Amino acid sequence: MARKTKIVQISDENRDKGKCFLIREMPATQAEKWAARAFLALAKSGVEIPDDIANAGLAGIAAMGIRALGGMTFADAEPLLDEMFNSCVAVIPDPAKPEIFRGAGGIGALIEDDIEEVATRLKLRKEVFSLHTGFFQNAAH
């Protein structure tokens, strides 16, 4: 079975309106390591992590809430945030051809102008978590 994907089209009234992005699930090994680094950074920052949540990987981080990530230092959070985008987010330059994308394993990498709004970056991060965990979709229902 292939990794999960989702196409997200930005509808917000801003410079990214109409842009399409492909969100791709990390391979299991990478997701496990990403979650372990995030848990270790959270623990180092003093955030209390329930004993049973460590077994839940990315779903466990989502269940704790993104606010808990605010306890991390930027030095610990930055590589996690960068890896999230580099591994999971691609731009689809032509929405009529969603099979052609840049970044996240496609041709080349994202460039700075692919995402021009902070709000879009935050929306895409939410979509990455949702794809990996279903947490945000379930919380909305």
Higher pLDDT, 54 or 20: 20
pLDDT higher than threshold 50 for residue 141: no
Q: Are 73 and 62 in contact (CB under 8 A)?
A: no
- How far is Cα 70 from Cα 99, in angstroms, rounded to an integer? 35
pLDDT (mean) for 31-55: 75
Q: What percent of the chain has pLDDT over 70?
A: 77
Q: Give 69-85 pLDDT, tens digit per residue.
A: 667 788 888 999 899 98
Number of H helices, E strands in the chain: 6, 3
Confidence of residue 138 (pLDDT cuts 50, 70, 90): very low
Neighbours of 127 (CB within 10 A): 19
Write down the mean pLDDT value for the chain: 82
Top-confidence residue, 133 or 93: 93
77 dihedral zone (left: phi>0; alpha: psi -120 to 50; beta): alpha
Q: Which pLDDT score is estimated for 136?
A: 42
β-bridge partners, 22: 7, 90
Residue 76: its pLDDT value, please? 87
Does an H or E element contain 24, and which?
A: strand 20-24
Look up the pTM and report it: 0.79
State residue 2's pLDDT score: 83
